[in-house]
């Protein structure tokens, strides 16, 4: 006698029963489909659809928040630069005027004025740096490529780790939104490298492909784990992902202990519609 289970017999469904089944499915009166090995909840599909809708709403909200944040940054940067910068410049001119009035016999006053002038100069530089970090003037004035070059240079200056940048892009490649997003992504990627990678060399590139803009940041550091890539604590990567998704792009992060980490962002190029209007002579 065989102890094997009897094979599952497929239920026969014909005529009225088949009609009944079709009607029940059409009118959404079915909760679950009973299969040979498992129960498939029909409502699971609906739940997944709801979840996707909710995700899309969250993404739209994030995109809107990012845009609001950028605009706020512009306003704050302008206020700091114009108001505070102006006031500090006036203060510096005032101190110079006082320094001119002080006689050689008033040495302690002269020293004090000089130290105050030096302090004001430092403050002006700090204000410029803060305003620049909030909204890099170079991005608005000279465009994305120059801004990224400048960012690579700054990174090398701050960290002492050489960061090379290469591109095949001209001056006008991306829209304003794309430029801001790519620039912020590059900034976030470089911050991550500085904080975690322990790299001795960084290569950043921005390539203009036929269909996509491709930003790559590669370092030769200690790599990155899957948990770090998808972890809830990886706020930098979450921010990058949200910016990429807002532009319907894709993000790929690969890391290994031997080759370091490579972050690749692909942003689809906007489609240019050519008009074929007849030209009148």
- Chain positions contacting other proteins, by CB under 8 A: 8-9, 11-13, 17, 20-21, 23-25, 27-34, 36, 38-39, 41, 43
- The answer to whether 184 and 151 are in contact (CB under 8 A) is no
**Shortest separation between residue 11's beta carbon and other proteins, angstroms:** 4
Q: Which is nearer to other proteins, 13 or 68 (CB)?
A: 13
Q: Which is nearer to other proteins, 11 or 108 (CB)?
A: 11
**Shortest separation between residue 48's beta carbon and other proteins, angstroms:** 15
Q: Which is nearer to other proteins, 30 or 68 (CB)?
A: 30
**Shortest separation between residue 55's beta carbon and other proteins, angstroms:** 23
CA distance 100 to 216: 54
Q: Which is nearer to other proteins, 26 or 276 (CB)?
A: 26
Tokens standing for residue 100 = 């001119």
């Amino acid at each position: 006698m065989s102890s094997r289970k009897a094979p599952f017999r497929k239920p026969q469904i014909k005529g009225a029963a088949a009609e009944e089944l079709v009607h029940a499915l059409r009118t959404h009166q079915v909760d679950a489909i009973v299969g040979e090995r498992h129960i498939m909840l029909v409502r699971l599909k609906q739940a997944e659809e709801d979840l996707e809708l909710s995700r899309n709403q969250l993404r739209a909200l994030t995109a809107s928040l990012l845009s609001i944040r950028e605009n706020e940054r512009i306003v704050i940067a302008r206020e700091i630069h114009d108001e505070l910068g102006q006031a500090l410049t006036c203060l510096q001119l005032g101190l110079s005027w006082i320094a001119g009035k002080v006689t050689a016999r008033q040495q302690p006053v002269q020293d004090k004025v000089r130290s105050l002038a030096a302090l004001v100069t430092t403050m002006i530089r700090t204000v410029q740096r803060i305003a620049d970090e909030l909204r890099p003037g170079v991005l608005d004035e000279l465009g994305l490529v120059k801004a990224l070059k400048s960012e690579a240079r700054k990174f090398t200056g701050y960290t002492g780790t050489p960061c090379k940048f290469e591109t095949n892009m001209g001056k006008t490649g991306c829209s304003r939104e794309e430029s801001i997003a790519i620039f912020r992504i590059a900034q976030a990627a470089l911050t991550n490298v500085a904080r975690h990678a322990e790299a001795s060399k960084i290569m950043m590139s921005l390539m203009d492909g036929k269909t996509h803009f491709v930003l790559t940041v590669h370092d030769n550091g200690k790599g990155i784990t899957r948990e770090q890539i998808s972890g809830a604590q990886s706020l930098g990567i979450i921010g990058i992902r949200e910016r990429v998704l807002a532009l319907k792009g894709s993000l790929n992060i690969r890391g290994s202990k031997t080759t370091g980490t490579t972050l690749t962002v692909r942003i689809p190029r906007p489609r240019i519609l050519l008009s074929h209007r007849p030209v009148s002579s």
